[in-house]
């Protein structure tokens, strides 16, 4: 372990400093302000209250809190890896956002040879960061900080290219990111963990357990994510009634999945007790399952049903599917991302396709062709001129039918899964190189190889009984270990 610590003492700072020099050079050469942040575009007639910052910043700060505090606490559930869960989340998120501003900026926000930076760029970069953090959950506790940073370096460009291809050429509806965030993150992470498979860990690990305090900290992360998830799902939705529906549907879906999770947790536990892992993870399923149709007129009852269905799928995945994936398919999914993001993401995509197939002008009114922009008539179609009388400024679409749009949604699902899984597998092979100082099996799920830890960090908790003045060891035991 001394050798590994010594190697990180050199390799981690070298990687970080080289990355910072490159980022500074790229920012200097290519990044400038957008019109909303550039002083030269403001005049005495400019109303500062119309600036985009007042529209976008509230959503940004909610998502920012989810990324740094919500994810950070959620990943701190291992008893001996609390520093790693929170601190490496901090490190990963900071680097991912800086890198995503450049990579996504090239594809989405560049013109005249410059990337034009505003709060909207930061929101998009936060979404790319969320993708990385979800994927990281699959290998939590089994990677070094250098491996994590290399994973960020590779995953962000793969995500940005996939996002660009799907949105530019397939032109899909994915307001809540079910395809481009949840499915991509899930299958990229599964690709990485497939390659980084450790046979010895299938039998359990002595330090792969939780404590009373680590579970409370993790639950705080769940609560933070739960509270701010409506902002996550609605940040990039069209302003007005679309965004309003997105907030309502997300809250309803989360509420439904939470109640269902409590019921299922008690029902599936042979002692009839609640399991903390269920409360920490499965309660969030509804936020994912409403994602693909979150801005559509699906009705509140459909949002509730999606929350219940997503919760059931997620719960059964944790109970029965994850062990099978680990034993038979070499997929050690540490945080169960396949259950919370993969299974629920597929349910969400299916619901989104159904919503597209059943959508009509009678239900949506004139705004139908704003929500389903690619179904608007093409330029030159007489119907487009009629619609512009009702909706001034309506952009020409592609004239797609509902069935054609649904086929493009399906194509986007398979394309995203394929590209993300391939990217994850290739990334995993690179991370296996000895240079990146992967922890040995004995030191997985342990802060000691990477941090200066307090001398009592691994001491058992001892309870003093008031009536006997005796003490007893109450060290939590992992099931099956």
Kindly state the tokens that stand for 178. Answer: 């079910």
In-domain check, residue 480? no
Provide the pLDDT for residue 6: 56
In-domain check, residue 399? yes
Strand partners, 473: 462
Alpha helices in 329-381 (DSSP H): 337, 344-358, 361-364, 368-371
Number of C-alpha atoms within 13 angstroms, CB side, residue 139?
Answer: 34
pLDDT tens-digit profile, the chain (481 residues): 555 655 788 899 999 999 999 999 999 999 999 999 999 988 878 888 889 999 999 999 999 999 999 999 999 999 999 999 999 999 999 999 999 999 999 999 999 899 999 999 999 999 999 999 999 999 999 999 999 999 999 999 999 999 999 999 999 999 999 999 999 999 999 999 999 999 988 888 888 899 999 999 999 999 999 999 999 999 999 999 999 999 999 999 999 999 999 999 999 999 999 999 999 999 999 999 999 999 999 999 999 999 999 999 999 999 999 999 998 999 999 999 999 999 999 999 999 999 999 999 999 987 899 899 999 999 989 989 888 888 888 899 999 999 999 999 999 999 999 999 999 999 999 999 988 989 999 899 999 999 998 887 776 655 454 444 444 443 333 343 3
In-domain check, residue 44? no
In-domain check, residue 405? yes
In-domain check, residue 455? no
Residue 463, helix vs strand vs coil: strand
Q: Which residue has 């997620």 as its token pair? A: 314
Q: Are 72 and 89 in contact (CB under 8 A)?
A: yes
Angle at 440 between CA 438 and CA 443, to 5 degrees: 110
Q: Are 172 and 413 in contact (CB under 8 A)?
A: no
If we measure between CA atoms, which residue out of 393, 343, 355, 396 comes closest to residue 374?
396
Q: Which residue has 């050199």 as its token pair? A: 10
Contacting residues for 466 by C-beta, under 8 A, at least 6 apart? none
If we measure between CA atoms, which residue out of 425, 435, 409 comes closest to residue 356?
409
In-domain check, residue 412? yes
Provide the pLDDT for residue 250: 98
CATH code at position 260:
1.10.3430.10
In-domain check, residue 256? yes
Provide the pLDDT for residue 203: 81
Separation between Cα atoms, residue 389 and residue 351, nearest integer Å = 32
Q: b/e map of 460-473 (b: 16 or more CB within 10 Å)?
A: eeeeeeeeeeeeee
- Kindly compute the dihedral angle of the four CA atoms of residues 199, 200, 203, 206, in this order, to the nearest 10 degrees: -150
Alpha helices in 66-200 (DSSP H): 71-74, 82-108, 119-136, 145-165, 184-195
Provide the pLDDT for residue 389: 87
**31-33 vs 114-117, strand pairing mode:** parallel
Give the chain's domain count: 1
If we measure between CA atoms, which residue out of 297, 404, 416, 422 comes closest to residue 346?
416
In-domain check, residue 473? no
Q: Are 1 and 443 in contact (CB under 8 A)?
A: yes
Structural domain boundaries, residue 350? 2-39+50-443
Q: Which residue has 């009114």 as its token pair? A: 365
Backbone angles phi, psi at 32, to 5 degrees: -140, 180
């Amino acid at each position: 372990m001394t050798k590994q610590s010594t190697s990180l003492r050199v390799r981690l700072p070298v990687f970080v400093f080289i990355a910072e020099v490159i980022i500074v050079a790229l920012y200097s050469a290519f990044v400038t302000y957008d019109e909303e942040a550039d002083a030269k575009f403001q005049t005495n007639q400019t109303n500062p209250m119309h600036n985009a910052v007042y529209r976008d910043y509230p959503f940004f700060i909610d998502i920012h809190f989810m990324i740094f505090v919500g994810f950070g606490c959620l990943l701190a559930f291992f008893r001996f890896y609390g520093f790693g869960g929170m601190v490496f989340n901090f490190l990963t998120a900071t680097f991912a956002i800086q890198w995503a501003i450049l990579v996504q900026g090239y594809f989405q926000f560049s013109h005249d040879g410059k990337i034009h930076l505003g709060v909207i760029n930061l929101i998009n970069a936060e979404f790319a960061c969320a993708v990385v953090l979800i994927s990281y959950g699959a290998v939590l506790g089994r990677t070094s900080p250098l491996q994590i940073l290399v994973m960020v370096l590779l995953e962000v460009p793969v995500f940005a290219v996939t996002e660009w291809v799907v949105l530019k050429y397939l032109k899909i509806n994915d307001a809540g990111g079910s395809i481009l965030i949840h499915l991509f993150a899930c299958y990229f992470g599964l690709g990485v963990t497939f390659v980084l498979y450790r046979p010895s860990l299938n039998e359990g690990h002595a330090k792969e357990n939780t404590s009373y305090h680590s579970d409370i900290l993790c639950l705080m992360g769940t609560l933070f994510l739960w509270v701010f998830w409506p902002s996550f799902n609605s940040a990039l939705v069209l302003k007005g009634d679309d965004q309003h529906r997105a907030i309502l549907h997300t809250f309803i879906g989360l509420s439904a999945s939470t109640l269902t999770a409590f019921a299922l947790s008690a029902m599936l536990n042979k002692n009839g007790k609640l399991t903390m892992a269920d409360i920490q993870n499965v309660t969030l399923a509804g936020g994912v399952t409403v994602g693909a149709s979150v801005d559509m007129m699906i009705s509140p009852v459909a949002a509730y049903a999606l929350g219940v269905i997503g919760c059931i799928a997620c719960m059964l995945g944790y109970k029965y599917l994850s062990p099978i994936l680990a034993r038979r398919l070499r997929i050690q999914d540490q945080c169960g991302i396949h259950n919370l993001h993969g299974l629920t993401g597929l349910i969400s995509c299916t619901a989104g396709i159904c919503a597209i197939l059943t959508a009509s002008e009678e239900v949506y009114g004139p705004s139908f062709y704003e929500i389903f922009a690619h179904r608007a008539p093409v330029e030159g179609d007489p119907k487009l001129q009629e619609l512009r009388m009702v909706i001034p400024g309506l952009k020409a679409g592609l004239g797609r039918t509902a069935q054609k749009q649904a086929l493009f949604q399906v194509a986007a699902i398979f394309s995203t899964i394929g590209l993300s899984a391939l990217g994850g597998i290739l990334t995993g092979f690179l991370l296996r190189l000895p240079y990146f100082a992967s922890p040995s099996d004995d030191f997985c799920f342990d802060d000691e190889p990477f941090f200066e830890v307090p001398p009592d960090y691994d001491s058992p908790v001892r309870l003093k009984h008031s009536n006997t003045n005796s003490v007893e060891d109450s060290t939590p035991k992992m099931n099956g270990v």
